[in-house]
Amino acid sequence: MLPPITTIIDNFEFIDDWEERYRYLIELGRQLPPADEALHAEANKVQGCASQVWLDLAVDEAGGDRRLRVKGDSDAHIVRGLVALMVALFDGKSPREAADTDAFALYTKLGLGEHLTPQRSNGVRAMADRIHRDAVRLSA
């Protein structure tokens, strides 16, 4: 189970060494729940990522409170960690809160933009854009 996003941010700020940060990112990816085959549907595939990435956003309306349930997966270890950051950031938010959240700002805050290849940064942007579009659609 993934830690809350605030814990993840605190841990990143505590870890000075970038090799250790990468290890932590990979560990976060390992904490994602195993993906079922339905997640790997073509409709869930994020376009614009060099690695294969799948994201699925659904609304849970239990108790009359609309909350997002976010699932994700990737075929690359570091990218799976980036997916885990997205899941930790958005899972449990209302669709409106998610639509108003700048996911790419989190990557900048964590310093990942300075240490990721341009290709991976483009993939992060593609994931953030996909979640934003889906959240806007689900908030309507």
- What is the residue range of 82's domain? 5-139
Q: What is the pLDDT of residues 91-137, one digit of tens each?
A: 999 999 999 999 888 888 898 888 888 888 889 999 999 999 999 99
Catalytic residue numbers read 49
8 A C-beta contact, residue 40 and residue 73: yes
| Overall residue count recorded for the chain in this entry | 140
pLDDT tens digits, residue range 5-56? 999 999 999 998 999 999 999 999 999 999 999 999 999 999 988 899 999 9
Residue type, 68: L
Q: HSE of 5 in the Cβ direction (CA atoms, 13 Å)?
A: 18
CATH number at residue 11: 3.90.1010.10
Structural domain count, the chain = 1
